[in-house]
Structures are given as C-alpha cells and as structure tokens.
Structure 1
Amino acid sequence: MKNITLFNHRQLWCIAGPLMIANLSTPLLGLVDSAIMGHLESPAYLGAVALGGMIFNFIFWGLGFLRMGTTGVIAQAYGQQDAFEIKAILVRTLLLALLLASLILLSQPVIIALSLQLIDSTQAIKTLTETYFTVRIWSSPATLVNYVLIGVFIGLQKTKASLAIVVSTNLTNIVLDIFLVVILHQGIAGLALATVLSEYTGMITGLFLLRLVLQKNNSPWPGRTAFSFEKIKYQLIINNNLFIRTLCLIFSFSFFISQSAKYGPVILAANTLLMNFQALMAFVLDGFAHATETLVGKTLGQQNQHLLQQTLNTATLWSFSMAVFFSLLYLLLGEHFIHALTDLMPVRSTAATYLPWVILTPVISVWCYLLDGIFIGASWSHHMRNTMAFSTLFCFLPAWYFSQSLGNHGLWFSLVIFMLARGLTMAWIFKKTPLVAR
C-alpha cells in the first residue's frame, strides 16, 4: 500500500462518493417498502414483496449486463480518448435495451404463470405477488434504459449524473409509496405503481443529463459503423457471459428466499428484513467497486500500469475498512434496526436469532465486490461467468444440501460459503492473469 497518494484517495472518493449515496438510496427504498408492508395486518404482504422482487430480480438483474458490460468498454474507450466509439457503444446498448424490454412486455403472461407455479408458498402470498407483478412489469423499458445510462455515466466518470438518476428514481418511489399505500390505501398494487412511475422519472432525468454530457463530445454520431460485426460480436460475448454470471447470482439469492418461504411466513419475513441489511452493506461496497471499474478500465485504456496498481491498492484499503465498519455496526445496532423495521413480535425475535450471520457477511463478501469491479473494468466477463458458476453449482448448493438439518441456520451457512467461494476463486484468477487492455 506504499504507493497510495492523496490523489488516489481523492480520485476514488470523487467517483465512489456519489455512487455510494446513489446506492444507499436503493436499500433505503427496500427498507421503506419493508417498513410499510411490515406494518400492515399480515406478514403475507412482506412475503409477497419479497417473492415479487425475486421475480423481477430474475428479469432485471439478469439483464444487468446492460450496465456492467457498458461500463467496462466505455471506460476503456474513454482512456483511449475515442469519442466516436463512446457514441457507438451508447447506440448499440440503448437499442438492445429497448428490444429486450419489448420482449419482456410481450412475454409477461408466460413469466407470471411460470413464476407462480415455481413458488412454494401460501395462496394468499401468491395472489398478492401476482398483483404486484402485473403492475410493476410496465417499468421494464425505463428500467433497462436506466441501466445503460448509468453504465455510460460510470464509464465516463460522470458519477454525479448516475447519482441524479438513482436518487430521483428512489426518492420519487418513496414519496409515492407513502402517498399511494399509506394515504390512499392502495396496498401492494400502490407499491408497484410507485415503482413504475419512479423508473420513468429516473429515465427522463438520465436522458436530459446525457444530452448535456454529449454536447461536449464533438465527434459525429455513428451510422452503420456502430453496427460493425466485430464490435457487436465483442459486446454480445461480454453480455452473454455477464448474463450467465448474473443468472447464477440471482438464482442463489432467489433460492435463498424460496427456501425461506418453505419455513413459513415468519421465517420468510425475518430473512427478508435481514437481507435488507445485506443490501445496505452491498450497495456501499458497490460504490467502491463501481469506482474501481471505471478507474481500472481507463488506466488499462491508457496503458498506465503504475496508476493501475495505485488504483487497486486504494480500492482494497477502503473496501475492507468499510466491510469492518458494517460488521461492527450490525453487531452493536442490529437488533435496534430490526425493531424499527417491524412491530410483529414473532418476526422481531426470529430475525434477532439469525442476526449473527448478517454480522459475519461483510468481511466475507467484500472481496466479491472488489474483484467484480476489477474484472468488469478489464472486461473479464468470461472469468466472472466461470467463477460464479463454480461457486453456485459446486459450493452453494452442496453446502445447502448437507446443512438442511440445521434449518434456517443451514440456509444462511450456505449463503456465506457461496460468498467465500466467489472471493477465493476470483482472487485465484486475478493472481495468475495479467491485467491488460483488450
């Protein structure tokens, strides 16, 4: 860590700071949703939000390559000062986002029918989940366009623009949650409608900011050259690898929620609350990871190995420090957070029982987030795919299978093993593979 300078710290925080604030508003939204549903008359509302969110995790998180795949290639083009290629990447990814959104809307009857068939829960929770789905699905175009815009802004190190998109989306969502659910008593449908309207608010904000950013880019808009076979092939390979990687990640967390539902509505509600703690930590660490993505991509584009090493050292230092902070925070205040989120006594006591697992996860999972940032910046999508698939198939699932006798403790144990395996396998790849630009 000797080579770290004040400039490195300042540079990392200037990029990570706005992203951290943006990311923090996302779990805050989850906490507000849980608090609103948790104060209704039945745990079924909390369970339905968790299961409905699980369905959209498969849909939207599965298409997260629109953000991740864009950031790395944009950052490398930015490092090479290739303004024309930046616009070409933007055109390709926006068109892909709109195409995928159209396919989602056309497929919605099949998606909900299959999802409800796979969900093992009570009929009351299934009915509420279907209501949530049929409203929220209409946010698809805006959500996917926002992924692209955020990826572009991070790659260009315009993280305040990313902050504006995310914060405008989430603050609008929180206000509409309170208005539609608490004041107008629209229930879970109101919660979903708030999400739809807020996503379009974020998209409008992002497009306006994109116009301002591109005014400084004097290169012409690409015509047919934006669709050269080699460029499209390269981006599709990255997107395909990231899609498989993300599906494995979503499967693991969705499997966790699905197994929680089998233990009953109280365990499901408790695990849902505790996963919000995990999300809070994850989104802060992702701020450093996203900053690492763009800094690694840019330095690779510049072929500046000295600055690259300084970036890696700085990101490692701050990521681990923040992980320790969250473990201590949950150790000291975790039960107070649980009591603030729900007044249902069975859910409170159950969540407190499994809180130690949440205290442990930050220092275990921090390496996943840090190495994800490095790999995305380097466009190492194939390594991300392979390590995630290995961790899911040969670590997470076997750990769950052999710990079923431990009940919900076994479920949390398997999740920790999954995070540990991801960090170790990516660290092994990183150690043996030189970082070079494409």
Structure 2
Amino acid sequence: MTTHHRRVWALALPIILSNLSVPLLGAVDTAVMGHLDSPAYIGAVAVGALVFSYIYWGFGFLRMGTTGPTAQAIGAGDGAEARAVLGRAVLIGLSVGALLWLLQTPILALAMNLLDASDEVETLAAEYVRIRIWSAPAVLVQYAQIGWLLGLGRARAVMIQQIGANVLNIVLNLLFVFGLGMTVEGVALATVIAEYAGVGIGLLLMAPALRGLGGRWDMARLRDPARLKRLIAVNGDIFIRTLCLLSAFAWFTAQGAASGDVVLAANAVLLNFLTFAAFGLDGFAHAAETLVGGAVGAQDRDGLRAAVRTSTVWALGTAGVMAGAYVLLGDLLIAALTGLPEVREAAAGYMLWAALMPLVSVWGFQFDGIYLGATESRPLRNMMILCLGAYLLMTWALVPLWGNHGLWAAFMAFMGLRGLTLAVLYPALERRVTGTGSAVKA
C-alpha cells in the first residue's frame, strides 16, 4: 500500500469506527423504543432527535470550521495559531450552549409547531427535549475538541472519545429503560450524562497533544480582528450550509409525519441505514479534510490531488460494499430495529431507496471534506442553498404523485445534487493552490 493510501486509512479507520458508534447509538434508541408497546415512542425519539440535530448540527461549524484551520496551521508550522483556533472554538461553544439553555422554551414551542405529528408523539417528544437540552454546552465543546484533534491528525484520540461516550450512552439507555422502567426520559437522560463524560475524556486526550504542539497561548492572537473576521465569515457560511442540510432532513421527517405514525416510524427506521452509511463514509471525508488542510497550508498542489484522489477511491469502494450489504440484509436489519409488524412491513416497502443511498450520497460527503479542509466555505453554502431549493420543488411535485416513494425519490436526488454541484466547482479550488511541495506524508 502506498504512502498516500496508508495515510488515508490511518486517518479514516479510527473515524469510521468512532462514527459508527454514533448511528449505533441511534439504532439502540430506536430499538429500545421499538420494543415498547406503541409506535409513538419511536416517533417521539425520532422527532426529539431531529430537534437536536437541527440545533446541534446547526452549530457543527465548531467542528467543521476547526479542523481545516488547525490542519492549515500545522501545515504552515504555526503551533500558536493551532492553539488559538482551539481557544476560539471552545469559547464559542460555551457561549452558544449557555444561550440554548436560556432559549429552551421558545425552541421547544417552535419545534412542536413546525412538526405535524400526533398529540401523543408531540407530548413524548417535548419531554425528551426538556431533558436533553441540558447537554448543550457539552455537545458544542466536544465539537471543538473533535475538530481540533482531527486537524492535528489524531484520529485515534477522537475514536477513543466518541466510542467511550457512546458506549456509556448505550449502557445507560438499557439501564434506564429496561432496568428502571423509564421511556423517552430515560433515553434523554442517558444522553445528557454521556455528553459530559465525553468532554472529560476529550480533555484527557488533548493534554499530550498540547504539550507536544509547541508555540504558546497568545490572547492577542486569539482576539486578532482579522482572524476573528475570517472565522465569523467561514463559520457563518458553514452554519447556513448545515441549516439547509438539516432543513432537508426536517422536511423529510415532517412529510413522513403527515402520512401517519406508521410511515413516520418506518422512515425513522430506514434513516438509521442512511446514518450508518453517512458516518462510515464520513471517515474518508474527514481524512480528506485533514490532508487537504495540510496541503493547502503548505501550498502543495500535488499533495492536494493525492489526498482527494486516494480518499475518494476508498470512499467509493466502501459505499459499494454498504449498498450491497443493505440489499442482502435489509429485512434482518429492519427486524432488529423494531418488533412492530406494521412498521416492519412499511419499512420493507421503501427499503430499496435506503439501500442505494450510499452510492448517491458518497460524492457529497467527499466534497464536503475537501472544501472544508481548504476552508472554501462559500461554495458549500451556495450549492447547498441551490440543492435545498431543488429538493423542495421535487417534493412538491413528486409526493402528491407517488406518496412516500416520491418523498424518498426527491431526497435521493437532493443527496446526489450535493456532490454534483461541488464537483463542477472543484477545478477552480485546485488552481488556487499554487505550490508543489510535499504535504502528504506517512
């Protein structure tokens, strides 16, 4: 295996393993609720989790906007700037987390008004939200920690942090629901405890990285107006891009909810398949992000090309394996996620859409990593706005004709357009890297 391939796998494999623990946690949430006596429990956790996806992933720039600048600082040999990137991200995370605490009541009211679910689902989802909101500062600080560690190329540390927190979450889920007889409140409380544990694990893992980084903490650099202006611009673009992506998922869930609790639950089950694929393929996107950031920081066009080519080849191969596994094992996986016959039957009818999704969505994941590593945030923002508009138009046209199949068709087209639109703009990104050094190393 060549140096470039080894470097991609050294970064991607720990992230794949840690990322897969995230949808595993979502699958356990679904399975735990799916073995209770009503589909409303599955729907409530799906709706509640959607609310937090919208909130927390909306601030995903704390991860996505940290990896690229950190990698570029390391590529340029600037340890002090790498520290400053971390400091800025943590301060923003703590501030936003405290703000979310203060705004929890209007957030909950808005979310329940926007989602057209049954009264029972809304009541249970509201209980879930009221508990889980208290994890907000921990979630956002973890984003900063993960982004910074990835920028340093310390993917194994991220794996330990993520798997440790998520395994604890799963154990607490089972304890609270099956051991103590709790329902949605047990799932939410388990998540809150695990998120704060994750911050503690992250701090322990970051300590040796900080000792070996070089440079020093420089408050003047941390507050530098030019760097802050650039940070705000990049993070603003990523925020809008992420908001559009989450809006697409929210629209998908809302449209499913309008078709009844069984369709809502079936779509929630199948979205676990997409989430598994996304977090698995995202490992190669993270590898591309770190390597592209280092290449851009060193102005190394050859390193950029090698990072993009090698990570994408492995991502495509992995997407093909995932799609094949879903086609062969779909019915078994659905049965593992829910014991409700009506939900199993409904999910099986839409299984092919979920099975083929990795082959379509992989391009969007890869180009996200490439553009984030280069801190080229404006194309990410603009193309996502375009894709969201096209998606909404497609659902307007297709759902009345084909029902939930039309919804899945529009969603698949949206995922494909994400990659296609960014691919068109990629040659211009490559031309802006002018040197031919050697940033991609073993």
**Partner residue of 1:283 out of 252, 273, 279:** 279
* Match status 1:145 vs 2:141: yes
Does the 8 Å contact 2:75/2:293 carry over to 1? Answer: yes
Equivalence for 1:225: 221
* Match status 1:300 vs 2:305: no
**Partner residue of 2:172 out of 170, 176, 198:** 176
Does the 8 Å contact 2:300/2:433 carry over to 1? Answer: no
**Letter aligned with residue 401 of structure 1:** W
> 1 CA distance for matches of 2:248 and 2:431?
29
Root mean square deviation of aligned Cα: 1.1
* Match status 1:32 vs 2:25: no
Deviations 1:373-414 (A, max 9, x none): 100000011000001000001x10111011022100010011
> 2 CA distance for matches of 1:433 and 1:8?
21
**Letter aligned with residue 413 of structure 2:** I
> Structure 2: which 5+ residue stretches go unaligned?
435-442
> Structure 1: which 5+ residue stretches go unaligned?
none
**Partner residue of 1:13 out of 9, 12, 30:** 9
> 2 CA distance for matches of 1:225 and 1:77?
13
**Partner residue of 1:322 out of 318, 321, 345:** 318
Equivalence for 2:397: 402
| Deviation of 1:435 (Å) | 4.8
Equivalence for 2:420: 424
| Deviation of 1:311 (Å) | 1.4
Equivalence for 2:359: 363
Deviations 1:346-384 (A, max 9, x none): 111110000010122111111001111100000011000
SS of alignment partner, residue 271 of structure 2: helix
**Partner residue of 2:388 out of 378, 389, 392:** 392
SS of alignment partner, residue 218 of structure 2: coil
**Letter aligned with residue 403 of structure 1:** L
SS of alignment partner, residue 376 of structure 1: helix
TM-score by length of 1: 0.97
**Letter aligned with residue 233 of structure 2:** I
| Deviation of 1:437 (Å) | 5.5
**Partner residue of 1:197 out of 188, 193, 198:** 193
**Letter aligned with residue 95 of structure 1:** L
> 1 CA distance for matches of 2:85 and 2:234?
13
Equivalence for 2:437: none
**Partner residue of 2:346 out of 346, 350, 356:** 350
Question: What count of residue pairs does the alignment treat as equivalent?
Answer: 433
Residue identity (%): 42
**Partner residue of 2:112 out of 92, 96, 116:** 116
Does the 8 Å contact 2:241/2:384 carry over to 1? Answer: yes
Equivalence for 2:331: 335
Equivalence for 1:161: 157
Does the 8 Å contact 1:378/1:436 carry over to 2? Answer: no
Does the 8 Å contact 1:378/1:437 carry over to 2? Answer: no
> 2 CA distance for matches of 1:325 and 1:136?
35
TM-score by length of 2: 0.96
**Letter aligned with residue 22 of structure 1:** S
Does the 8 Å contact 1:378/1:435 carry over to 2? Answer: no
SS of alignment partner, residue 213 of structure 2: coil
SS of alignment partner, residue 403 of structure 1: helix
Equivalence for 2:132: 136
> 2 CA distance for matches of 1:348 and 1:270?
7
Does the 8 Å contact 2:398/2:407 carry over to 1? Answer: yes
